[in-house]
Structure 1
Amino acid sequence: MSGFATSYSPPIAASQPSRAAGPARAVARPRQKVLWMAQFPYPGAGMGHPAPWVAALAAALQKQPEIELTILDWHPGLSKPIDEFDKDGMHFIYLRAPSFRQDLLTLYTQRVHVARQYLRRHHQAYDVLHLHGSEWQLPAVVPGLERPVVLSVQGVITEYLRYLPQTWSRLGLSWKIGEFYERRYLPTVHEFICRTAWDKALMAKLSPGARIHHNWEMMRPEFYEPEPEPATEVRPQVLFTGGNQRMKGFTEVVAAYALIRQQSPLKLVMAGRVTLEEVNQEARKLGIAPFTAAEVECVGFCNAAQLAALMRQSFCLLHPSYIDNSPNTVCEAQLLGLPVVATHVGGVPDLIEPDKTGLLSDLAPRSLAAQVLRLYHSPELAHMLRQESRLVAAHRHDRETIVRRTIDIYHTIS
């Protein structure tokens, strides 16, 4: 038996009456005021966009009459301590935070203190506090508050740090500090929303006795759209979306593609922060002949519509990550019926049933190349993966189910 408690309550309804009593009437649940702490970059600041799965769920929840959603975040560029406003049916609160450099030099204590002080004064105005991820020291902000707290697990620094190159970079230092905060404060959180066996086991280890609620993440709207008519022509290209990120398997992709191009006409399309020059620099380090622009195309960062179009055009997605929980790229690819070759790490096996909803591999370039080539030489397998992965992902990421479960979790813990 597993070492953690699990909970998922179905929607609360009236007890079943006798046949003579007439139809059952649903119990009206009280309207809940929910405060999210989540990364929602300050509008107009040019600091990117909120995490896609967070933004998608927020947009869906704000349409629910029983939920009043407020989002709390930090922003270093504020001219005043607090900025509040309404936007897109939600209330936003931004607290002034130190610059990234000052934040790091103060070991995040100033930023955490600002949020702690705000919540000490205002937390009782809410029924539930929902933390999105542990990476930004959110668990350090809420100990001692007299309101139920639930944390949606995203990445787990304590685990990811094992795969980061041991350098004294700002990122490495930031992650080391983040690991301290996770180990110190995750045990104070007793309710978690998890998705995979991997993150459930981690939370049971880091916060013994915690209650685990299961819910999948919502994907971006573009990936739920039906196949356009006429259907997009699939090109002989392998898609990789990790840019030049080492932990996403950049080196392994370069090495694997060198083998793939020897045995097939497949092209490699790379999205994210990467250039052909960087790819060929990596190839030289590995003793591989340089690639031409006809072999490797670097398309830069893609918005949701652009990525969905790329996925529909591609033969398969190659996702050789060192560690992942439930990578959205894999989930989005499956929603569109794009066959996936991914590494057997973290929570990925919960997304991919081998030879049914995708192909799994170890990180060795030869193994990755072999799986891609196997898919290329077996149109029947590719077709079956397209059909089955689309069906499974559509059920897994059903938007109505995810919204209902989220609201049920709020009622369960409050």
Structure 2
Amino acid sequence: MKVLWLSNVLFPEVCKVLGVKVPVVGGWMYSGAKALLKESSELQLGIISFYDGHDLKIIDKKPVTYYLVPKKNIASYVGGVEECFVEIKKEFKPNITHIHGSEYPHSRAYINSCGIENVVLSIQGLVSIYAKYYFGGIKFIAPTLRDLLRSDSIKQQQKNMEQRGKMEIELLQNVKYFIGRTSWDKNHIWNNNPAANYFFCNETLREVFYTKEWRFSKCQPHSVFLSQAHYPIKGLHQVIKALSIVLNHFPKTIVYVAGNNFVSVPKYKRNGFASYINNLMDEYNVRKQFIFLGVLNEEQMVEQYLRANVFVCPSVIENSPNSVGEAQLLGTPCVASYVGGTMDMIIHKQTGLLYRFEEFSMLAEHMCNLFSDRQLCEEISRNGQDIAKKRHDPKKNAQNLLKIYQTISNQ
């Protein structure tokens, strides 16, 4: 069987050939491809991704053929990609085309140019829904001079996501086959395309997360880890409010944040959200409790999960956040907002703790309960790890995906 993937990230093999850094995002897709090829010796895999070049480039790394389409900005719909897609399809002759994600215009561009026959779309996030929550419940975020000069305020970012969302809805309404993994994404497929064929398949995560295990005795007491925080959807502002309560009970609490310190850059470089967070940190007197770690590779991410007393996913909306899966797979006790598909990943008080996004005092209480109760930490750690090992089983997920491909191919 010949399967053609459409991906928005460059795989490590390609990065080595191009001499560019391996992206810190999308590593789960590479792990999924490896598991798939391990499970089927007859599978031929073609992978389309995008690079900063001028011509269609083909890199043969049997049993994978990489097709690199020139496109500098994956968030924009530009001419040229459709012609490349037609050429790739004609050359590779896939039995199945698997589009990973609906968030970017190139997904719609593929079906516009190549049709929907034997095309399956797997849902990652849904920007048509995320755009509604872009401000994370914040009533107003004032644009800075930087925002105005770049036409890149938080409001403009929301509008850009809304535009991508319109293209996404057109895609959802036209594709016949979908792969999802939560009741939330299944609902939105049904809402947009009631006649669609929906297949359930979990994701395989990055390999290193299967090799380590969290231990209470080795974690840093009263420490919290956040895997993202740079825009309102990720809920940093709610953690700031919650932390002000936690400090009354555990005054030495520290929050480690993956990603660059967008808060402490010079004022002329700050966007509206960074300025808002700066003011909020001062209002709640918690600035010293936050440590930004910079961009982390997967090994460094593992190190932070293992060091944390608690991992928090405070987003206003998510489908099935890989960060929760990674934390559970390692055994790090999780607290997450009850939004989107997160409810399918965490059973409250068994495999993690859930709270309503707006109720930051509940987030604070959950953090304090885990800080003060080793038995609760270890119980949630053990249960979360058990369920995550089943959910993210590479062999099982690869077998399931192959069955989906075969089912679609036979119809």
Shorter chain as denominator, the TM-score bin is 0.7 to 0.9
CA-CA distance at 1:374 after TM superposition: 2.0
Report the counterpart of residue 209 of structure 1 in structure 2.
195
Matches within 5 A, 1:320-399: 320-363=314-357, 364-399=359-394
Q: Deviations over 1:148-205 (max 9, x none)?
A: 1111100111110101249863633431221121122221111111100000111111
Alignment partners' CA distance in 2, 1:221 and 1:286: 36
The aligned residue for residue 405 of structure 2 is: 410
Aligned structure 1 segments of 4 or more residues deviating by more than 4 angstroms: 228-231, 278-281
Letter aligned with residue 130 of structure 1: H
Answer whether contact 1:276 1:296 (CA < 8 A) is retained: no
| 1:289 CA displacement | 4.7
The answer to whether residue 218 in structure 2 is matched with residue 244 in structure 1 is: no
Would you say the 8 A contact 2:281–2:287 is kept in 1?
no
Taking only the aligned residue pairs, the percentage that are identical comes to 26
Match of 1:270 in 2: 257
Compute the displacement of 1:130 (Å): 0.4
Instruction: Give the number of aligned pairs.
Output: 374
Change (3 A) 1:164 1:252: same
1:189 equivalent in structure 2: 175
Deviation of 1:100 after TM superposition, in Å, equals 3.1
Deviates more, 1:347-356 or 1:253-262: 253-262
Aligned partners of 1:406, 1:68: CA distance in 2, in Å? 14
Deviation at 1:315, TM superposition (A): 0.7
Q: Secondary structure at the match of 2:79?
A: helix
In structure 1, stretches of 5+ residues that fail to align are 1-31
Distance 1:373 1:35, change over 3 A: same
Report the counterpart of residue 157 of structure 1 in structure 2: 127
* Distance in 2 (alpha carbons) for counterparts of 1:232 and 1:114: 54
TM-score (normalizing by structure 1):
0.83
Unaligned runs of 5+ in 2: 144-150, 266-273
State the partner residue of 1:305. 299
Instruction: Give the CA deviation at 1:114.
Output: 3.1
Query: In structure 2, how many angstroms separate the alpha carbons of the residues matched to 1:146 and 1:182?
Result: 15
Query: Is contact 1:197-1:350 (8 Å) kept?
Result: yes
In structure 1, distance between residues paired with 2:179 and 2:306: 31
Structure 1 residues 309 and 280 mapped into 2: Cα distance closer, same or farther (>3 Å)? farther
Match of 2:34 among 46, 54, 59: 59
Q: 1:60 to 1:88 in 2, by over 3 A?
A: farther
Residue aligning to 1:12? none
Residue 83 in 1 paired to residue 52 in 2?
Answer: no
Q: Is the 8 A contact 1:95 1:114 kept in 2?
A: no
Cross-structure match for 1:100: 73
Moved more, 366-375 or 230-239: 230-239
Larger Rg: 1
**d(CA) in 2 for partners of 1:370, 1:111:** 53
Partner of 1:37: 6
Q: Would the aligned equivalents of 2:219 and 2:309 in 1 still touch at CA under 8 Å? A: no
The code of the aligned residue for 2:31 comes to: A
1:269–1:223 CA distance, 2 compared to 1 (3 A): same
**Cα RMSD for the two superposed structures:** 2.7
* SS state at 2:128 partner: helix
Q: 1:367 to 1:203 in 2, by over 3 A?
A: same
Q: What is the CA–CA distance in structure 2 between the aligned matches of 1:59 and 1:227, rounded to whole Å?
A: 23
In 2: Cα distance, 1:280 partner to 1:405 partner: 46
Contact 2:237 2:280 in 1 (8 A): no
Alpha-carbon shift at residue 251 of structure 1 (Å): 0.9
Cα deviation, residue 288, structure 1: 2.7
Taking the aligned partners of 1:135 and 1:179, their CA distance within structure 2 comes to: 7
